[in-house]
Chains A and B, each alone.
Chain A
Amino acid sequence: MDAPAAIELRGVARRYGERHALFDVSVEVPTGQTLVVFGPNGAGKSTLLRVLATLLRPHGGEARVLGEPLPEREWAVRGRVGLLAHESLLYRDLSARENLRFHARLHRVGEARVEELLERMRLAGRADDPVRTLSRGLLQRVAVCRAVLHDPPLLLLDEPRANLDPAAAELIEPLIGRASGRTRVVTSHDPAGGLAEADLALGLRDGRVALSAPAGEVDAAAVEELYR
């Protein structure tokens, strides 16, 4: 029996003013699978993640995330998604530990989880420094901690390995990689690397679907074509 869909989009549209950032986007992601979204800058990848995270409301079509229709029951989705965006969603003048404790309180998660994640991300030594003093790579590791703090069943990852050295990329793998077992939507500009971790591939160009297929049926050249 097929796993129930964690994400179902049918003809979803989203505008910024008169400009369509997403238009007629349809995709279905079964629970536990990974959708990798490709597309050049401005194609609508980040907008798609923000719609799925309930931070933006769709202006057309039907969207269902974790079984809940959006935007009607968006409150039932909040707290069940982990978003790793281009911005860290952290307070610059608070330390990593203070930031994570703050988010832990909002998500009703115990502080032991914060300490566990700081240890796993090898951040304990810098945990009390304001995050504005951290390098982009360390900041990204704190942002990963924040995104998975509450064990969300759905991860929305906007170029999650940006700014990370190979060792750090390996460090975050159990938390946000395939091994995490979570349903994931990952944006990527790396055709070969993206396809290697994908179950499904989605290509966007100017907000429209230009490619949608199981990852095994897509070759890197087809993805590269999106960027030309």
Chain B
Amino acid sequence: MSEAPQTEPRTDAAPRGASDPPVPPAGRAHATARPMRPSMALLRKDLLLERRTPEAVPAMLLFSVTTFVLFHFGLGRDEVSGQLAAGVLMVTLLFAAILGINRLFVSEQEEGGFDGVLLAPIDRTALFVAKAAALFLFLTLVEVVTVSAFAILLLGPSPWPALPGLAVVLALLNLALAVVGTLVSALAIRTRARDLIVPIVALPMLVPALIAAARAAAPLLAARGAGALPTKWLAVLALYDLVFGLLAYAVFDFLLED
């Protein structure tokens, strides 16, 4: 009978630092031949949920475009370029990302889905990887539209020459937002004041990334035409990603402790 108790102990997913090495599952009555990586399963679930009931992406999109309209009228200028353009673009994306970060773990809260994931024999870092990847993809999708809107509503110089360099800067910024955003969202998920904690904690942490991204993008958006990518600021942004990526990897398990 398939419901007979399983006598074989399952120790197939030790956390990092556990003294015993992971043991492959054995004697499983229903084991699948080609298991999907837990992080992929979690990411697929998040993408499916966002496709089924779009929340984060439309909110970030609407916020970004509305902010550009506000800047357009608030600055009283038809065109911006250089450092100002880079600052407007990066700050808008940063605030838009806060909306996505706030929604990142919401689906896990409803009906206790979070507990269902925590009960699975998976390394909890898989949850971090999946959530960060989902946020990265959402931000990339948002930027495809918002950078176009920025170019139409505010940007003076032609955006085309700047696009390859801008794509690199935005990819590194997205990585920073995804890593720090996932970390802060996991920190805030069990608190009642989640909506307050995310911006209060995330924004100061993201200041170095914002400065580096804005400085790196400024020459690309210069009035006289796209200049060279400043490698110094790109390196700062990449270093930020690396440091916070390692930090998140080290502490994410502890954030999920009760």
Contact = CB atoms under 8 A, between A and B. Distances in A.
Interface of A: 31-32, 53-57, 66-67, 73, 75-76, 78-81, 83, 85, 87-94, 98, 102-113, 116, 130, 146, 148-153, 174-175, 179-183
**Chain B: number of interface residues, binned into ranges:** 35 or more
B255 interface: no
Nearest to B126: A106
Contacts, number: 145
Nearest to B118: A55
A91 B49 contact: yes
B32 A111 contact: yes
B119 A105 contact: no
Contacts of B4: 151, 181
Interface in B5-55: 5-7, 9-15, 18, 20, 25, 28-33, 35-36, 38, 41-42, 44-45, 48-49, 52-53
B117 interface: yes
Nearest to B112: A87
Given A75-B15, A102-B41, A55 B258 contact: yes
B107 interface: yes
B119 A81 contact: yes
A52 B207 CA distance: 42
B44 to A, nearest CB: 8
Contacts of A67: 9
B45 A91 contact: yes
B12 A88 contact: no
Given A106-B41, A116-B2, A152-B6, A91 B107 contact: yes
The 9 closest A-B pairs by CB, nearest first: A79-B121, A87-B112, A89-B116, A106-B120, A105-B41, A113-B30, A110-B32, A108-B35, A109-B30
Contact of B3 (A80, A110, A146, A151): A151
17 contacts: A53-B119, A55-B115, A55-B258, A66-B9, A76-B11, A79-B10, A85-B115, A91-B110, A91-B111, A92-B111, A103-B116, A108-B12, A110-B33, A130-B52, A151-B2, A151-B3, A151-B30
Given A89-B115, A91-B113, A180 B5 contact: yes
A143 to B, nearest CB: 9
B122 interface: yes
Nearest to A151: B6
Interface of B: 2-7, 9-15, 18, 20, 25, 28-33, 35-36, 38, 41-42, 44-45, 48-49, 52-53, 107, 110-113, 115-122, 257-258
Given A90-B111, A91-B111, A150-B30, 10 more contacts: A78-B120, A87-B111, A98-B48, A107-B120, A108-B25, A108-B31, A112-B30, A151-B28, A151-B29, A175-B3
Contacts of B118: 54-55, 78
A116 B49 CA distance: 25
Contacts of B35: 105, 108
A54 B120 CA distance: 11
The winner among A32, A54, A113 for most chain B CB atoms within 10 A is A113
A32 B6 CA distance: 11
A111 B9 CA distance: 22
A112 B29 CA distance: 11
A104 B13 contact: no
Contacts of B14: 75-76
Nearest to B23: A76
Contacts of B115: 53, 55, 83, 85, 87, 89
A110 B30 contact: yes
A95 to B, nearest CB: 9
A67 B11 CA distance: 12
A75 B18 contact: yes
Nearest to B55: A93
A174 B3 contact: yes
B28 to A, nearest CB: 7
Nearest to A176: B3
A113 B3 CA distance: 11
A55 B120 CA distance: 11
A149 B29 CA distance: 11
A111 B41 CA distance: 13
B32 to A, nearest CB: 4
